[in-house]
Chain A
Amino acid sequence: MEKSVNYGGHHDDLNLEATELRLGLPGIIRSDIIGYEKQSSSASTVVVVRNNKRASPEGIMTQESSSKSHSYVSDARNGDPDSHHQPPAKAQVVGWPPIRSFRRNSFQQKKTDQGDGAGMYVKVSMDGAPYLRKVDLKVYKSYPELLTALENMFKFTIGEYSEREGYNRSEYAPTYEDKDGDWMLVGDVPWDMFIFSCKRLRIMKGSEARGLGCL
């Protein structure tokens, strides 16, 4: 892959800052292009680019963050002395690249749906328990893993799953609410299909549970 040229990284060691040309008072962090030499085609490019905003990076970075959910926080504010040599890091520049909010939203939404990074947390309730819990479905690769985790979380045992009888030999039956709002028995559909359609989990107890298994 072709990485973007990391001007800052290369020059940390060479300390070209002392000899560079600047358009402005020394000490001010500028976002100018400085001293470009066309002849030099060698690896040591003379372009030293400042990637921070001008004297007050705070002013530019923070004012956008108040109302929009994607605020871009500048690393430049962290006081790292070398930070002004870094190229623009992830999400460092407000409104750049110029992509409208709804597109950014839909990527984040997609990632949440697919559980990338953000995890797929669903609520778990158990009949008789005083409060609900949450599990990240992304963490598990199969039904046995999930069910073991639930057993540990709520301190109970689920019996074996059979396609014909569900969890009939157990006092409990794990169920889930799917995207259509229907309550389904956990285990019927392939795991991958399950994690996409599961909105919440409920561990049913007693006769209600056995009733489901008998269907």
Chain B
Amino acid sequence: MDPERKKVVEHVAVSTFPDEVLERVLVQLKSHKDRSSVSLVCHSWYDAERFSRTHVFIANCYSVTPEIVSRRFPNIRSVSLKGKPRFSDFNLVPPNWGANIRSWLVMFAAKYPFLEELRLKRMTVTDESLEFLALSFPNFKALSLLSCDGFSTDGLAAIATHCKNLAELDIQENDLNDKSGSWLSCFPENFSSLEVLNFANLSNDVNFEALERLVSRCKSLKVLKVNRNITLEQLPRLLIRAPLLTELGTGSFLQEHPACQYSELENAFNKCMNLNTLSGLSEVTALSLPALYPACANLTFMNLSCAALQSGELAKLLVHCPCLRRLWVLDTVEDKGLEAVGSNCPLLEELRVFPTDPFDEDTFHGVTESGFIAVSYGCRRLSYVLYFCRQMTNAAVATIVQNCPDFTHFRLCIMNPWQPDYQTNEPMDEAFCAVVKSCTKLQRLAVSGLLTDLTFEYIGKYAKNLETLSVAFAGSSDWGMQCVLGGCPKLRKLEIRDCPFGNAALLSGLDKYESMRSLWMSDCKVTMNGCRVLAKEMPRLNVEVIKVDGSNESQADKVYVYRSVAGPRTDAPPFVLTL
């Protein structure tokens, strides 16, 4: 076939591709990144994609309006929304900042009456909203609230009472008003659809008999995470009624009564053959821990971040967990415990070590660089680390990333600000140089310790895949931030606090911010004028300054910059200035 004719044939073939077939194909696409790409191909693909999309993920609730979303995607059944900037988790965002779910719910009720799932992170949700949700969507199946605020257990009671088809109720780490545990008793006696129940972070007692009956009725229950008030004696009664459990949050695990009750517990755990995830254990002791061993054979994720285990206890436990891929611990396990991790967990991909006494600098607790090194020798597949410590050296980090070059997430928190390498007294620049040079797949980085602009030069130069960067108490001048903004082609989120970066740094990113999700800078050297210039030059960015009481007029205390097609916020409180 001659080339000209071939071209014509190909051209015709593409434009007569039937939409119905295209939509059937596109329905299979789950990843929102893939869907974004598809929608950019051409108009007909854009349309086919938007009709076939059933789940929408909105990473910044102020980047778009409910109206725009509902116009583009008419068939949504599942929504994930994120609201406040991440630093609100650490009290850096004043209360009543915004990200209220209300206006979204009103739109959903009008345009998506068949909504099934809602997953919210860092949003403000009131009891009225929860009740509105419970009453507006007859097919509602899944509610997940992570790091949200504004509601109380009354709202949960409304959900339990009215959502007849609820399969998932996941209440994690929220700042809620825990008035009483009676919400659990609001599930009707004939209600049996629950598959996921997580109330681990609620502090009030629930009625145990009601919980027991609920677990009995819900034959498909796969995930059960109870709060600390459920005792070791009560736990077996739940376990035997939930044979399909794959994820368990155990409550306190405190053994109050003598060992004769222990056998019930052992029996119950012997039958837990399907567990892949274990958490809770907030009061566990060496006595009660062995009861768990039979259930650990298939565990891939163990969250011990509420359990103050000692190194020996952890070591004994890990022997029984050969399949572990993700492990979260408290630093009570110390370096010795981490050595046990290195010895027993060859498949480990993720390690998080949380501090027990983050504010107590006087007594030496916790983990050091040795523990981290030990893990890196034993767990070569490590790709995600979150490590809180009080001392670190450049050499240690270099060794660690040499052993584990596959890091995608490297979050190191040396807890004392501006702390240098404790052996050489030098800045920690070389440590992060090693990280970005060795770990070519690095997507997320959090830096700490004494750092000069050199760290940021390295990051800008080498971190080609970096998407999220968190910086605190670091850098020497504007040049540091300029290097990051000038390099890092895939940068999406930049969050900075207490660094000497000012207007020159802020404005050097003019070309970059529209390709990023957001920028946060608090307690840096940016001024109101700098922010005004940014706002003027880049009208499609929202440039917001949170003013703090008593601060200097010209200082921009907290700056939040994000791209948006929604225009400036209409619901901003008085302390948020939109420039």
Listed in ascending order, the chain A residues whose CB lies under 8 Å from chain B are 1-5, 23, 31-33, 36, 38, 41, 45, 47, 49, 51, 53-56, 58-60, 62-64, 66-68, 70, 87-91, 93-104, 106-107, 109-110, 113, 179, 193, 196-197
Contacts and interface: CB of A to CB of B under 8 A. Distances in A.
B550 A56 contact: yes
B418 A193 contact: no
A23 B231 contact: no
Most buried by B among A5, A87, A179: A5
Interface residues of B, number: 67
Contacts of B550: 56, 58-59, 62-63
Nearest to A4: B416
Given A90-B359, A106-B306, A31 B557 contact: no
Nearest to A190: B258
Contacts of B500: 23, 31-33
Contacts of A49: 418
Most buried by B among A4, A98, A99: A98
Interface in B450-489: 450, 452, 470, 472-473, 475-477
Contact of A100 (B173, B360, B368, B497): B173
A96 B416 CA distance: 9
Contacts of B419: 4-5
Contacts of A91: 359
Interface of B: 87, 89-92, 94-95, 147, 173-175, 201, 203, 228, 231, 254, 256, 282-283, 305-306, 308, 354-361, 363-364, 368, 388, 390-391, 413, 415-420, 422, 424-427, 450, 452, 470, 472-473, 475-477, 497-498, 500, 523, 548-552, 555, 557
A4 B418 CA distance: 10
A38 B89 contact: no
Contact of B422 (A5, A64, A107, A113): A5
Given A64-B91, A95-B87, 6 more contacts: A33-B500, A41-B424, A101-B91, A103-B354, A109-B203, A196-B254
A107 B417 contact: no
A89 B416 CA distance: 9
Contacts of B424: 41
Contact of B548 (A2, A5, A60): A60
B357 to A, nearest CB: 7
A178 to B, nearest CB: 9
A94 B497 CA distance: 11
Most buried by B among A32, A109, A196, A197: A32
A145 B175 CA distance: 41
A56 B552 contact: yes
A38 B523 contact: no
Given A31-B473, A196-B256, A97 B388 contact: yes
A108 B286 CA distance: 22
A98 B90 contact: yes
A98 B360 contact: no
A100 B354 CA distance: 11
Given A96-B417, A98-B472, A54 B523 contact: yes
Nearest to B208: A180
A107 B282 CA distance: 10
Contact of A90 (B147, B361, B425, B552): B361
B523 A107 contact: no
B357 A107 contact: yes
Nearest to B96: A67
Contacts of B417: 51, 88, 93, 96
Given A98-B89, A98-B90, A59 B355 contact: no
Contacts of B390: 2, 4
Contacts of A60: 523, 548, 551, 557
Contacts of B555: 54
